[in-house]
Amino acid sequence: MTDHQQAIAEEHWHQAKLIWDYHQMRHVPRPCDVAIGLGSHDLGVAAFSAHLYHAGLFPLLVFTGGNSPTTRARFPRGEAVHFREHALELGVPDEAILLEPNATNTGHNITLSRRLLAEAGIHPRSVLLISKPYMERRSFATARKLWPEVDVVCASEPLELDEYVKAIGDEKLVIDMLVGDLQRIIEYPGLGFAIPQDVPKAVQAAYEALLRAGFDSRLLPR
């Protein structure tokens, strides 16, 4: 057990790893008509978006995201604005970036980015969704529901859970977010927000165990 894991029981790390692996779609990044960088607390999304742009996987990049309670202090001008600035610092040309600064959830990320592209006369057939590693499956399920006619490919920084926790610096928060995203994958189809995703029994059991252990600060409000 590494130093940054000492506060978390070994069984909980094993359960979190099951959920972490489930959240990732394991798509192979390939050229797409456009990319959408989904706003969040994680500036690594912007860095990886820049990396994939320089790799020639897309000609145009949308950064989408306003603010949430978890990002307001970190990105006071809005997630998309800060992501764009970071991508510019990493050599992505300004003309290759469109800015969508108003989205407050993943559904908004998709619908408002789609609207922005349409207003620019762009109607992509394929979209590369770039997100936090544990947000791949939820963003995929959301896009397939709200934008079914496009071919969706998911991508995120190729990090293991240990590496991601070390980068964020708060192990409990990361596990809470893994649990919160899984709750949304389970519940959002019934609300019309996403397509259903099969949840393996082992992942469901890990989710329930982590809930019982108190990893619940990112659950949906009741």
Q: Tell me: the pLDDT tens digits for 180-194?
A: 999 999 999 999 999
Cα(75)–Cα(218) distance, rounded to whole angstroms? 19
Whether this model's pTM surpasses 0.85: yes
70 φψ region: left (φ > 0), alpha (ψ -120 to 50), beta (else): alpha
- Coil/strand/helix, residue 193: coil
Q: Tell me: the pLDDT tens digits for 119-148?
A: 999 999 999 999 999 999 999 999 999 999
- The overall longest dimension of the chain from CA atoms, in Å, is 52
Nearest to 107 by CA among 72, 69, 149, 65: 65
* Beta-bridge partners for 153: 128
